[in-house]
Amino acid sequence: MDRVKELVAAARKNTGGESPCRVLHCVARLCLLLYSADNWAGWIIGRVRKQAMESTITDLTLESFLPIERMKEMMPSAHLSYVDAKPFPHVVLDNFLSPDVLDEVLAEFPKPDQIRWQQFDNAREIKLASAKEATFGPVTRLLFYHLNSMTFLEFLSGVTGIQDLIPDPSFDGGGLHQIMRGGKLGIHADFNKHPKYGLDRRLNVILYLNKHWREEYGGHLELWDRSMTKCEAKVLPVFNRMMIFGTTDFTYHGHPDPLQCLEGMTRKSLALYYFSNGRPAGQISGEHSTIFRDRQEGEFGFKMKRRMRKLAKDLLPPIVARRLGIPDS
């Protein structure tokens, strides 16, 4: 009641002693403004509280992000699996990290239209990527840092036998990867030198973030033999699956067939690459970028021609397209 009296007095002052109706009108407006301000302040406070409560990660220690004891226990068996794997050394680790941490990472993962992705759209690859730390959520950023830590490097060395591994703080070519329905990544061998530091690329680690991913969606990481005659292993990109594999000029891998996941779903992963200063003499070759390989003669060329024909059909008037011999379908 006292507050209302104050408002009436203020209204009378501001209206020069005008009629009671005019005074009440001003009082009503002031009340509305106060109500709106109180609600706005309440919304802000509630939003801050919500954001604070949204993250369930309260323990930021190394042990909360990396399964230290399990890493020690699994290292011998993982090493045997790695060196014996075909067509080249690799190992698949399921449920490797804390699902609580990965739930946070998945919740932070940017949508296709949410950030400025690096976009690839050609006959060989259709995908999105981001190596910029500013696009990583806070939990994702911490996870990347832990996967570049000495603790994890020593684990990787124990599993692979590759000593003195060096992480890449710039995440060049790595970081966040996302592929939408219809996207793909042709079979390839990776670039073999870091473009900035000149170090030898030795190891890939891919962490998949795809819940409820079915076989029929595709997106398997395919591992092909050195002669590119057959696929010898397939890895389904399911949630909390970590893939570790060595990289040479002949470690051909990719998922060459377009994704068949449901509309709105995407294939999400984190990618990290590890290097060394030098490599075994038998693996030394000239510096090269990514080497794409056809699964059959003219695979990429044929698809590119088909895409160009479709583009021409979409852009040209039907009569012109028919005169040029571009089919209707």
Say what the pTM is: 0.76
87/217 Cα distance (integer angstroms): 24
* Cis ω for the linkage preceding 280 (within 30 of 0): no
Residue 42 token pair? 């309440």
Please measure the distance between the N-terminal and C-terminal CA atoms of the chain and give it in whole angstroms.
77
Q: Produce one character per residue of 168-183: b if its CB has 16 or more CB atoms within 10 Å, e if not.
A: beebebbbbbbbbbeb
37/51 Cα distance (integer angstroms): 21
Residue 213 token pair? 């991913």
More confident residue, 237 or 315: 237
Stretch 247-254: mean pLDDT, rounded? 96
More confident residue, 44 or 7: 7
Stretch 10-24: mean pLDDT, rounded? 52
Q: CB 134: neighbour CB atoms within 10 A?
A: 7
Is pLDDT at 84 greater than 60 in this prediction?
yes
33/35 Cα distance (integer angstroms): 5
Is pLDDT at 29 greater than 80 in this prediction?
no
